[in-house]
Structures are given as structure tokens and as C-alpha cells.
């Protein structure tokens, strides 16, 4: 799952530059970055009391100092994740952080997967 998300994120660009990203916490200095996290994973289809598929929900958090860069990156994230078979669930409100000057928006996606891949590490 991590590979799938990171492969998709590595195609998210602003101009020709890939937007830097990290899982859970970004420690770099870029004025534009993405943090992703797995929100939940819930069993969906079960047979013989055993889950066969699960639905993974992920958050893609975009932080930008410039509003236009945030807007462009949100667009690029949606295009890339939908291309990769994810379903767009919703967007958070835009939040301005007074202390850091970052504008922040969360985009949530979901994807169903077979349980044999659930047994692999997320």
C-alpha cells in the first residue's frame, strides 16, 4: 500500500518539480509539501466469517505558503490518485496556520483491496 501511494505521489508535480512528500510527518524546509497517512482500513466483504476485501481510507495533506500552489497541487493530486484507481471522498476546509503561514487542505481517498494484500504491511 505504501508503495502504491508513494508511486502515485511521485507523479504529483507543480510545474515540472515533484512535490516533496512524507508519511505522517514532514521534516524538510520546502514551502510546499505533502504528508500522507492511512486513516482507516475496514473489512468490507466477508465470507465464512473471514474478510475478503477491505476498504482503505487515506488522507493526503497538502501544505503551501502560496494559495495558487495549493490549488494547483490539489488539482494534480486528484488527477493522479483517480488515475491510480482511488475514489475521491472529500476535501477538508482550507485552514490557514497563523504561526507558520501555511495554508492546509486535506483530500481523502478510498480504495478497495483484496485481503491477501491486507496481510502485507501497510
Partner 1 sequence: MAKMDYEMPEALMDKLEELVDDGVDNMFSEMAGEAGKILYSAIKENIRKSFKNPDIFLRRCVITKVYTSDKGDPIEEAKCVKISFLGYIPGSPKTKNYPKGTPVSLAAAAREYGTSTEAKRPFMRVAVSGSAGKRAVEEMKKIQEKYFPED
Q: Which parts of this chain interact with partner 1 (CB under 8 A)?
A: 24-26, 35, 37, 39-40, 42, 57, 59, 61, 63, 92-93, 95, 97-100, 102, 104, 106, 108
Q: Which is nearer to partner 1, 38 or 84 (CB)?
A: 38
**Cβ distance 46 to 52 under 8 Å?**
yes
Q: Which is nearer to partner 1, 102 or 118 (CB)?
A: 102
Q: Which is nearer to partner 1, 12 or 64 (CB)?
A: 64
113: β partners? 54
Q: Which three cell numbers stand for residue 10?
A: 511521485
How far from each other are the two terminal CA atoms of the chain, in whole angstroms?
5
Amino acid at each position: 500500500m505504501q508503495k502504491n501511494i508513494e508511486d502515485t505521489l511521485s507523479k504529483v508535480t507543480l510545474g515540472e518539480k515533484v512535490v516533496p512528500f512524507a508519511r505522517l510527518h514532514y521534516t524538510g524546509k520546502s514551502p510546499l509539501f505533502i504528508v500522507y497517512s492511512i486513516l482507516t482500513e475496514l473489512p468490507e466483504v466477508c465470507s465464512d466469517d473471514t474478510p475478503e476485501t477491505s476498504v482503505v481510507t487515506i488522507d493526503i495533506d497538502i501544505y503551501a505558503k502560496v494559495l495558487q500552489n495549493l490549488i494547483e497541487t490539489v488539482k494534480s493530486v486528484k488527477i493522479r490518485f483517480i488515475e491510480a484507481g482511488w475514489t475521491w471522498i472529500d476535501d477538508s476546509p482550507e485552514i490557514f496556520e497563523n504561526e507558520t503561514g501555511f495554508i492546509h487542505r486535506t483530500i481523502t481517498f478510498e480504495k478497495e483491496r483484496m485481503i491477501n494484500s491486507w496481510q502485507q504491511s501497510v
